[in-house]
């Protein structure tokens, strides 16, 4: 390293543990490149064809500019440190591409290609030094302040660190063994520079490095090692206002080293010596270990590695300031953190982090960490097995070949229907996409349950963390159910002030019916002609969508004709006043009117506010309570509001929720008013074992959090409008044979046959189109009394580009 050969450096050449030859220069000892703004703008235009405004940003060793192009796009222009080796830069660029391919959902900044298709170019600075130039997409978000991140955010930080490590574990590059002083495996070489530090700092850093030499270095060679980011500090991980990670930047310290270093560095640099650093390490460790459990030997030295990083920060940054003026400031946070460690003692700190890591890494280890009784041989073997399975990412079922799985399913699950002529064998989901066993990608334009996107990490992490912490029922006091109820009621119509938690939409409607019957003394039920409200004995009675053709309407049920689509003449059923009068006349006083305000089973007919207002008035006049069934249309699907009934202005007596509520985790609820529901609860002793359990409520809270943070309700309106526009465009040439109806991100395309005044439902073609779309990689379904309405109901994490993709596939499917 050049620094080592200059007089006055005062330390020995760093020892390279892998015997890789040291570079001639070191970016840590090389000043930031010099380039004026005009030159930088010139490079941008010449290399990338982009013109725009440049703003200088702080950079520790690179020269950075924020760019806003004339087209309004934002970028980060990086003039890399002249000492950065080209092969090391290529390693970083390759890592970004690798992560993008393996885990597309990770928020990393992509490298923008030059007009010539390269990953960057070169520039000679004003002092004659040569640098690589790279352009990155700009990521939104901000650098959190030291105290800003709460436990949930810190947990998410840890989880993202693990996720990035996972995404990188299959990556290799020949430059990965280059010598970088920030590699904690090389920390032994820092001791020579301890004299640069002042008294107390020198003593603490010396103790940390001493422990590294005796406790860590001898065992580190046996640790899991791979290319890691190696600098997941607060500066390099951008968060949104809720503290959720929205950007991971600066792969400049990336190297091949022990995997656990990523976590140790994150703990050291994110907590940065805040007063509660010692206790706040726990959520970071839990977040990391939920995805990547630590091995026992790694957990045993985690605390010492954190202390080593703090010592390295003190030594290296102090040394750099002795070399050149614009080196980073003295890291006061590192000194404070080491002070906190010294207060509890290095041994106790190490034991504390080891306990946290073991507790978070496997159930067996959790028992050991708590000092519980030794497990029996069999139990400990299976606990270790579970830990190992989790560590390896294994799942408790075996992969099967698709054909064999279809036959096996048929044998044990019977004639349970599968979607599509050729079944889809799914293995993974992410955002609006699903992946099958052959690695084929499908755009999911049908599933509303994963409302915030398949396997959203914020929801998955919250569920994982809670499942390791506590899972109990609502007989015990816990924040989750109370907070969830408060949040649900905050956005609900005024009279609703109570929440009853259950496990499915069917159960919610079943309980709502019991409440209505209890309150009214009646037993009659009103619903729409082709409704679906559930699978239980009571709800099946008013769910004709699933009935066989020869089913008989139960005596206590009457169906009303939904708002008509005048273009399809069909047999019309009775209106509400007539249906309610019939019920009364047959001796069944109406207790409840159930309505899905988006008519998702009746053929997608909403919004139909006037019709809804009138039918509710008439049902109430006959004595019924009004139940808005938001199981399908709720949680933002229709845009404008979380709840579809809001568009009509009607205040329901009861609201039922389910499907999207846990993004796949079973959780459902009934919202009611105390006047109606308190007497019911008192007189029936209402309780549901799983309803409102801590895990379910945690999942639902996480979902609400994502909907809010990602603005998904407004997003549903916007993308819904775009979807409608592109679908209309595709269908325009097909005239009367199609009718499109949409509301937010719910869209129905009715297919008809015939001509002029003689149009009839074209059920066969709807089934064909749906199967062709599946073949083209887009999943949709059908609905409506004749099954001739193609139903598009994607996760709300659906982008305009996804709508475009769907439109292209639809055009092909119709042509086919």
By the criterion CB under 6 A, which residues form the site for ligand PMP?
504-506, 509, 532-535, 596, 629, 631-632, 658-659
Q: Tokens for 508, please give them.
A: 């919610």
Do the Cβ atoms of 509 and 533 come closer than 8 Å?
yes
Residue placing its CB nearer to ligand PMP in the complex, 236 or 504:
504
CB of 658 to ligand PMP, least distance (A): 5
Nearer to ligand PMP, 629 or 710 (CB): 629
| Min separation Cβ 565 and ligand PMP, Å | 19
Q: How far is the CB of 544 from ligand PMP (least distance, A)?
A: 13
- Closest to ligand PMP by CB, 119 vs 642, is 642
User: Parallel, antiparallel, or unpaired for β 237-239 and 245-248?
Assistant: antiparallel
Closest CB to ligand PMP among residues 656, 673: 656
Angstrom distance (rounded) from CA 39 to CA 399 = 56
Which residue number, 67 or 512, has a Cβ lying nearer to ligand PMP?
Answer: 512
| Cβ neighbourhood burial of 755 (10 Å; 0-12, 13-18, 19+) | exposed
**Residue 629 to residues 601, 618, 773, Cα–Cα distance (Å):** 12, 18, 30
603 φ/ψ sector (left φ>0, alpha ψ -120 to 50, else beta):
left
Tell me which residue has its CB nearest to ligand PMP: 505
Number of C-beta neighbours around residue 679 at 10 A: 13
Measure the CA–CA gap between 344 and 312, rounded to whole angstroms.
20
Smallest gap from Cβ 505 to ligand PMP, in A, equals 2
Question: Least distance (Å) from ligand PMP to the CB of residue 594?
Answer: 8
CA 258 to chain CA centroid, nearest Å = 27
What does the block give as tokens for 349? 């700190």
Q: Shortest gap between Cβ of 421 and ligand PMP (angstroms)?
A: 22
Q: Judged by CB, which is closer to ligand PMP: 266, or 655?
A: 655
Question: In the complex with ligand PMP, which residue's Cβ is closer, 311 or 508?
Answer: 508
> What is the smallest separation between the CB atom of 665 and ligand PMP, expressed in angstroms?
12
CB of 419 to ligand PMP, least distance (A): 14
CB 790 within 8 A of CB 770: yes
Q: Which is nearer to ligand PMP, 3 or 506 (CB)?
A: 506
- Closer of 536 and 808 to ligand PMP (Cβ): 536
Complex with ligand PMP: residue 288 or 599, whichever CB lies closer: 599
To ligand PMP, the closest distance from the beta carbon of 371 in angstroms equals 43
Number of DSSP helices (H) and strands (E) in the chain, helices first: 25, 27
Q: How far is the CB of 496 from ligand PMP (least distance, A)?
A: 18
Integer angstrom CA distances of residue 142 from 78, 139, 149, 304: 18, 9, 12, 30
240-245: long-range pairs with CB below 8 Å, 24+: 240/140, 240/141, 240/142, 240/709, 241/709, 242/153, 242/705, 242/709, 243/144, 243/148, 243/149, 243/150, 243/152, 243/153, 243/156, 244/153, 244/156, 244/458, 244/709, 245/107, 245/141, 245/156, 245/157, 245/160
Q: What is the bridge-based pairing of β-strands 625-629 and 654-657?
A: parallel
């Amino acid at each position: 390293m050049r620094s080592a050969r200059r007089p006055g450096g005062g330390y020995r050449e760093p020892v390279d543990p892998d015997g890789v030859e040291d570079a001639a220069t070191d970016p840590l000892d090389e000043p930031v490149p010099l380039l004026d703004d005009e030159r930088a703008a010139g490079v941008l235009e010449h290399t990338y064809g982009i013109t725009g405004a440049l703003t200088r940003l702080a950079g520790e060793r690179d020269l950075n500019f924020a760019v806003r192009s004339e087209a309004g796009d934002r970028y980060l222009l990086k003039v890399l440190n002249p000492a950065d080796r080209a092969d090391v830069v290529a390693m970083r660029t390759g890592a970004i591409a690798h992560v993008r391919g393996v885990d597309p959902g990770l928020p990393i900044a992509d490298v923008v290609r030059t007009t010539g298709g390269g990953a960057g170019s070169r520039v000679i600075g004003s002092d004659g030094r040569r640098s690589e130039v790279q352009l990155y997409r700009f990521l939104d978000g901000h650098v959190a302040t030291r105290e800003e991140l709460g436990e949930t955010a810190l947990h998410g930080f840890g989880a993202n660190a693990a996720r990035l490590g996972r995404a990188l574990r299959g990556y290799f590059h020949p430059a990965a063994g280059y010598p970088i002083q920030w590699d904690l495996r090389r920390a032994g070489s820092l001791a020579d520079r301890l004299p640069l530090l002042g008294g107390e700092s020198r003593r603490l850093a010396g103790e940390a490095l001493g422990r590294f030499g005796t406790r860590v270095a001898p065992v580190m060679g046996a640790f899991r090692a791979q290319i890691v980011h190696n600098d997941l500090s607060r500066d390099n991980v951008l968060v949104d206002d809720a503290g959720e990670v929205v950007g991971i930047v600066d792969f400049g310290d990336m190297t091949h080293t022990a995997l656990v270093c990523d976590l140790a560095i994150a703990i050291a640099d994110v907590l940065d010596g805040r007063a509660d650093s010692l206790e706040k390490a726990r959520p970071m460790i839990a977040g990391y270990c939920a995805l990547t459990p630590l091995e026992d030997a790694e957990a045993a030295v985690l605390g010492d590695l954190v202390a080593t990083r703090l010592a390295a920060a003190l030594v290296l940054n102090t040394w750099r300031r002795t070399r050149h003026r614009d080196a980073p400031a003295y890291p006061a946070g590192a000194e404070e953190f080491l002070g906190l460690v010294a207060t509890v003692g290095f041994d106790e700190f190490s034991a504390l982090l080891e306990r946290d890591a073991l507790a978070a890494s496997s159930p067996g280890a959790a028992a050991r960490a708590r000092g519980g009784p030794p497990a029996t041989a069999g139990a400990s073997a299976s606990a270790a097995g579970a830990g190992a399975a989790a560590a390896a990412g294994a799942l408790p079922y075996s992969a099967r070949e698709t054909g064999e799985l279809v036959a096996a399913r048929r044998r044990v699950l019977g004639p349970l229907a599968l979607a599509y002529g050729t079944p889809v064998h799914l293995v993974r989901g992410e955002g609006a996409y699903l992946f099958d066993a052959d690695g084929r990608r499908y755009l999911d334009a049908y599933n509303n349950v994963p409302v915030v996107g398949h396997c959203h990490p914020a929801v998955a992490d919250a569920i994982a963390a809670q499942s390791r912490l506590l899972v109990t029922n609502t007989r015990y006091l816990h924040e989750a159910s109370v907070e969830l109820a408060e949040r649900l009621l905050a956005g609900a119509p005024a009279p609703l002030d109570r929440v009853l938690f259950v496990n499915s939409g069917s159960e919610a409607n079943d309980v709502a019916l019991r409440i209505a019957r209890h309150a009214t003394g009646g037993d009659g039920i009103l619903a729409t002609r082709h409704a679906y409200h559930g699978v239980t004995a009571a709800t099946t009675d008013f769910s004709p969508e699933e009935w066989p053709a020869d089913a008989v309407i139960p005596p206590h049920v009457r169906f009303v004709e939904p708002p008509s689509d005048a273009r399809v003449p069909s047999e019309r059923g009775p209106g509400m006043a007539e249906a309610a009068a019939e019920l009364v006349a047959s001796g069944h006083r109406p207790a409840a009117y159930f309505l899905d305000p988006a008519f998702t089973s009746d053929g997608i007919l909403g919004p139909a506010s006037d019709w809804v207002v009138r039918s509710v008035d008439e049902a109430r006049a006959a004595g019924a309570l009004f139940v808005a069934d938001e199981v399908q249309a709720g949680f933002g699907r229709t845009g404008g509001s979380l709840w579809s009934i809001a568009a009509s202005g009607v205040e329901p007596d009861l609201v039922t929720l389910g499907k999207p509520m846990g993004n796949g985790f079973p959780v459902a609820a009934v919202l009611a008013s105390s006047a109606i529901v308190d007497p019911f609860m008192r007189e029936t002793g209402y309780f549901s074992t799983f309803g409102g359990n801590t895990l379910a409520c945690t999942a639902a809270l996480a979902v609400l959090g994502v909907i809010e943070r990602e603005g998904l309700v407004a997003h549903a309106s916007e993308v819904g409008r775009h979807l409608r526009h592109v679908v209309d465009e595709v269908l325009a040439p097909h005239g009367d044979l199609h009718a499109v109806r949409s509301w937010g991100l719910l869209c129905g395309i009715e297919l008809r046959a015939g001509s002029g005044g003689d149009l009839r439902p074209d059920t066969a073609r709807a089934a064909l189109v749906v199967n062709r779309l599946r073949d083209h990689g887009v999943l949709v379904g059908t609905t409506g009394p004749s099954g001739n309405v193609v139903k598009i109901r994607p996760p709300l994490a659906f982008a305009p580009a996804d709508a475009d993709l769907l439109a292209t596939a639809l055009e092909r499917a119709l042509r086919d």
